[in-house]
Structure 1
């Protein structure tokens, strides 16, 4: 049976809690993936994870908009338009630390966790699983890693 150790990416790109949001956005824009584990390099501990979703939420302006439902005959359903009433541009502070926007409740797995556990966790809203050996980050398993491993295992059978 495949384990996290068998399918994980070993060379994990990470960011640190004090890295600035703007720097992480730049790195993420150049990356072939959509999130970074956040590791405190002094302690070597995984302290969070930051994803595209965490960063995109910084740019949502829903609290400064109101919604207007519009319906004109002969249409049976209305169409809702959002109108920004602030007149401001985005006011995202990209100089603040990533620790202010990262997710701290990180779901992790151990190197010996089996395929069923990985499938269970990655079949929901989670897209990546940091692999910890004790408190040390040793790899990461993404949905893509898991799909590729299952494909390769079936091809060998």
Structure 2
């Protein structure tokens, strides 16, 4: 079984100059968590819920408190968990909504070719360090042919297992 056998070939994409607000709205209505970013038919990035949420909720939740007198040579570091209530989401949305996706997308996209085997796809989607949920399938030129979500991989693994049990 190869990537071409398990990929979804109808891929929803966005363009690098699409507004963050529009993409966030589309993503809220979608049943997946990211879009490949395509320009002139070629994959140039990927934008995920995480990329967009980071615009409204800081990923660095650390508070530094200076110690002593200026110039502060030491600081105490505390981890803080700020709730969504402490953010002005309306202001953040207005500030970020007009930004192009190209400013927040991940440019170094992990992809596979259509001939990648099931083990290669499994290795990428199961890699905890990379934390990839959707794996674009591209040809040698970078044209998006399809996409494999973790759910697609699980369905393929089940089909392989079921086929093995039937023999």
TM range (shorter): 0.7 to 0.9
Task: Please name the residue that 1:4 is paired with.
Answer: 3
Contact 1:66–1:82 (Cα < 8 Å) also in 2: no
Kindly tell me: are residues 82 and 131 of structure 1, through their superposed partners in 2, closer, same or farther at Cα, counting changes over 3 Å? closer
For normalisation by structure 1, the TM-score amounts to: 0.81
For normalisation by structure 2, the TM-score amounts to: 0.76
Q: Does 1:143 align with 2:140?
A: no
> CA deviation digits over 1:58-104, x for unaligned, max 9?
11246798489xxxxxxxxxxx65569xx872434111100100000
CA RMSD, aligned part only? 2.5
Q: Does 1:117 align with 2:132?
A: no
Unmatched 5+ residue regions in structure 2?
Answer: 66-78
- Give the Cα separation in 2 of the matches to 1:119 and 1:152: 14
Q: How many residues align?
A: 142
- Give the Cα separation in 2 of the matches to 1:88 and 1:150: 42
Q: Does 1:59 align with 2:56?
A: yes
